[in-house]
C-alpha cells in the first residue's frame, strides 16, 4: 500500500484564498485586519520566518507591520512596544518572533500581549482556553495539523491519536485539540518506555520531536494517518521531518511530506487567527 499524500501547499492555498475573500468582505465593512510582527536581533532563521509572515499578510490583503529592533533592545522597551500595540486599534494580532535575546524574558513578553491579540496562541490565557474548551486562539502549528486532517475528511471521533512530543507550542496543544475532536489521545516523550508499542496502536500519529527517523515503518499500523511536524536537515543539508518518509509511506494510509506538509500551514493559521481576531472585534463594535 502506498499512502496518499496530504498536500499542505494545496490546503494552504485554499485556506489563504478563503482568508483573502473574508478579508475583502471585512474591509468593505470598514475594518482591515492588521498583524504586528516584532523581531529582535539578527537571527537568520527568524528573519526568514518573519519575512514569510509579512509577505503572506500582504498577499491575502491584511495590513502588516514589521518592527525590527537591535539585539540590545531592553526588556522594558519591548514590553512598552507590546503595550502600545495592545492599545492600537489598527492591530488585531501581535506576534513576537522567538527566540528572543537571552536578557529578555520571553514568557513575560508573551504574557504582556493582550489575549484578544495573541494570534500565536502562546499566552497562558490561550492555552487555558484550549484546555477548557473556551473560545481563544489555537496555536498555529497544531491548528494547521487539525486543518490537514479536516482536508482529507478524517473524522477523529473514537480514533486513537498518538502525539510524539510534549512541547508547549506543538505537542501539548496538539494533544488537547485532538481530544477536543473526540480522539483518544496518548502523548509520548523522551521518557516514554516503549514508543513503538504506543505508535503501533495509533490510527493517527503526529510526530513533533525534532529528530530524523524517529518514526520508522515498523512503528506504524497499516493505513494509519501520519502527520510530520519535524523540521530537520539530513546529511546533505536537505530539509526533512521526524518520519522516515520513503518507508513509512508504504505502510501508512495518509502522510504529510516535509517540506510541503505542516510547514506552510503554520503561517496560514496565523492569517486565519488574525482575520478571526479582526472579525470578532468588528462584531463586538457592531
Enzyme catalytic residues: 53, 97, 120
Q: Does residue 165 bind ligand NAP (CB under 6 A)?
A: yes
Q: Does residue 40 bind ligand NAP (CB under 6 A)?
A: no
Q: How far is the CB of 269 from ligand NAP (least distance, A)?
A: 9
Q: Which is nearer to ligand NAP, 115 or 210 (CB)?
A: 210
Q: Select the residue interacting with ligand NAP from 121, 171, 173, 257 (CB under 6 A).
A: 171
Helices (H) and strands (E) in the chain, counts: 10, 11
Q: Does residue 115 bind ligand NAP (CB under 6 A)?
A: no
Chain centre distance of CA 76: 28
Q: How many residues bind ligand NAP (CB under 6 A)?
A: 26
Q: Does residue 148 bind ligand NAP (CB under 6 A)?
A: no
Q: Could you give the C-alpha distances from 2 to 56, 93, 218, in angstroms and in order? A: 33, 41, 15
Which residues is 63 bridged to in the sheet?
34
Phi-psi region of 158 (alpha: psi -120 to 50; beta: other; left: phi over 0): left
Q: Does residue 191 bind ligand NAP (CB under 6 A)?
A: yes
By CB under 6 A, what part of segment 196-225 binds ligand NAP?
208-211, 214
CA dihedral of 159, 176, 227, 260, whole degrees rounded to 10: 140
Q: How far apart are CA 158 and CA 9, in angstroms?
A: 28
Q: How far is the CB of 197 from ligand NAP (least distance, A)?
A: 13
The contact set with ligand NAP (CB under 6 A) reads 141, 164-167, 169-171, 188-192, 195, 208-211, 214, 229-232, 262-263, 266
Amino acid at each position: 500500500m502506498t499512502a496518499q499524500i496530504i498536500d499542505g501547499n494545496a490546503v494552504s492555498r485554499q485556506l489563504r484564498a478563503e482568508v483573502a475573500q473574508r478579508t475583502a468582505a471585512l474591509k468593505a465593512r470598514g475594518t482591515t485586519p492588521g498583524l504586528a510582527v516584532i523581531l529582535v536581533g539578527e537571527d537568520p532563521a527568524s528573519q526568514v520566518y518573519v519575512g514569510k509572515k509579512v509577505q503572506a499578510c500582504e498577499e491575502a490583503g491584511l495590513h502588516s507591520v514589521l518592527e525590527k529592533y537591535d539585539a540590545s533592545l531592553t526588556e522594558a522597551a519591548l514590553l512598552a512596544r507590546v503595550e502600545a500595540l495592545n492599545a492600537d486599534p489598527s492591530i488585531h494580532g501581535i506576534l513576537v518572533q522567538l527566540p528572543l535575546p537571552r536578557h529578555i524574558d520571553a514568557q513575560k513578553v508573551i504574557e504582556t500581549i493582550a489575549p484578544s491579540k495573541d494570534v500565536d496562541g502562546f499566552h497562558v490565557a490561550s492555552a487555558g482556553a484550549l484546555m477548557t474548551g473556551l473560545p481563544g486562539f489555537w496555536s498555529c502549528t497544531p491548528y494547521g495539523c487539525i486543518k490537514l486532517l479536516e482536508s482529507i475528511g478524517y473524522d477523529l471521533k473514537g480514533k486513537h491519536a498518538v502525539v510524539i512530543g510534549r512541547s508547549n507550542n506543538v505537542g501539548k496543544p496538539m494533544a488537547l485539540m485532538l481530544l477536543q475532536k473526540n480522539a483518544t489521545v496518548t502523548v509520548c516523550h523522551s521518557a516514554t518506555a516503549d514508543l513503538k508499542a504506543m505508535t503501533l496502536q495509533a490510527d493517527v500519529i503526529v510526530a513533533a520531536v525534532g529528530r530524523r527517523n524517529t518514526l520508522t515503518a515498523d512503528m506504524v499500523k497499516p493505513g494509519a494517518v501520519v502527520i510530520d511536524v519535524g523540521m530537520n536537515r539530513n546529511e546533505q543539508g536537505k530539509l526533512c521531518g521526524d518520519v522516515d518518509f520513503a518507508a513509512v509511506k508504504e505502510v501508512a494510509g495518509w502522510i504529510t511530506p516535509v517540506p510541503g506538509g505542516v510547514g506552510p500551514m503554520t503561517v496560514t493559521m496565523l492569517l486565519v487567527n488574525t482575520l478571526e481576531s479582526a472579525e470578532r472585534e468588528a462584531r463586538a463594535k457592531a
